[in-house]
Structure 1
Amino acid sequence: MAPHLEEITPRNVEAAFGIRVRPDQRHAVEPVERSLAEAYVHPAGVAWPRLILDGSRPVGFLMAFLGIDWYGDGSVRRSGLWRLNIAAEEQGRGYGRFAVAAVGAEIRRRGGSDLYVTWHPGPDGPEEFYLRLGFRKTGETSGGQVVGLLGLGEDGSA
């Protein structure tokens, strides 16, 4: 079956909580529970949390940010991938690539043309994954993380 996204609901929230990355990745991404708590406290429409399923099997979690006030002063609004948690046993099967494409498609559907992401720097972070997908470093940092940018095509792809 092809992977797909589901909105987080009372019916599937426990499945979302069960998504765990590899132990060596835990320092680089927040757990799903924290992401959902952050989604709850942001204004409606800013956070876009989704469960990634392959058939009925939960394989990951993503959370996008949509039109977030990047500098906190209203001068710049950006959209992108906020969190990506692929279950340890499901990594390397294309679900991360699917997640990035899905966020890109949603941003494009809303009229955006750029997809931002931040990542933990260093040899143990996901930098190579994002660079392989076409992200380029902007030269900025956010909260000590590298900021990457991917321009979106008409169909939401790079």
Structure 2
Amino acid sequence: MTPRLEAVTPQNFETAVALRVRPGQEHAVAPVVRSLAEAYVHPDGVAWPRLITDGGRAVGFVMAYFDIDWHGDGSLYRSGLWRLNIAAGEQGRGYGRFAVEAVAAELRRRGDTRLHASWHPGPHGPGDFYARLGFRLTGETDGDQVVGVLEL
């Protein structure tokens, strides 16, 4: 496995938006096209969308956020994992771990000490995945999602 992150460009846009998670997971993560639209409408530098590739093959998509005004009132700024979509046939191969570790490295490079993430709780959600990576629940919620943090 030699995964890498690539910026989403006009050349790989169609590949990125064609990525699909497993059936039954669609409720838990927005499609890549929505993530790219959200990246476009936020101020420059806030969103960091990346295609995850391995051997030239698209295996997933990750989008981080940097210094988002968490409450919308200037009282708390956070950085973290905004989206993680691993293609249906590629799950369980370490690409999710790779993506989270790559986001953590980018946050460290920018001087951050915490990586935040939110996810749908429950038996079919990704909570166990995030716990194995070292995330701990903060006790906060973001809509119907729980919020976790990884100390960097």
Q: Which runs of 4+ in 1 moved over 6 A?
A: none
**Aligned residue identity for 2:57:** R
Equivalenced residue count is 152
Match of 2:146 in 1: 146
Alignment partners' CA distance in 1, 2:113 and 2:139: 19
Alignment of 1:20-35 (within 5 A): 20-35=20-35
Alignment partners' CA distance in 1, 2:123 and 2:75: 33
Shift of 1:32: 0.3
Shift of 1:124: 1.4
Where 1:51 maps in the other structure, the secondary structure is: strand
Instruction: Name the % identity.
Output: 71
CA RMSD of aligned residues (A): 0.7
Alignment of 1:35-50 (within 5 A): 35-50=35-50
Alignment of 1:74-113 (within 5 A): 74-113=74-113
Alignment partners' CA distance in 1, 2:111 and 2:77: 13
Alignment of 1:108-147 (within 5 A): 108-147=108-147
Shift of 1:56: 0.4
CA-to-aligned-CA distance 1:40-96 (integer Å, 9 cap, x gap): 111111110000000200000000011100110111110000000000000000000
Alignment partners' CA distance in 2, 1:109 and 1:121: 30
Alignment partners' CA distance in 1, 2:75 and 2:36: 26
Alignment partners' CA distance in 2, 1:33 and 1:135: 27
Match of 1:8 in 2: 8
User: Which consecutive unaligned segments of at least 5 residues does structure 1 have?
Assistant: 153-158
Where 2:20 maps in the other structure, the secondary structure is: coil
- Normalization by structure 1: what TM-score? 0.95
**Aligned residue identity for 2:4:** H
User: Which consecutive unaligned segments of at least 5 residues does structure 2 have?
Assistant: none
- Normalization by structure 2: what TM-score? 0.98
CA-to-aligned-CA distance 1:9-65 (integer Å, 9 cap, x gap): 101111101110001111100000011011111111111000000020000000001
Alignment partners' CA distance in 2, 1:24 and 1:123: 13
**Aligned residue identity for 2:114:** D
Shift of 1:7: 0.4
**Aligned residue identity for 2:87:** A
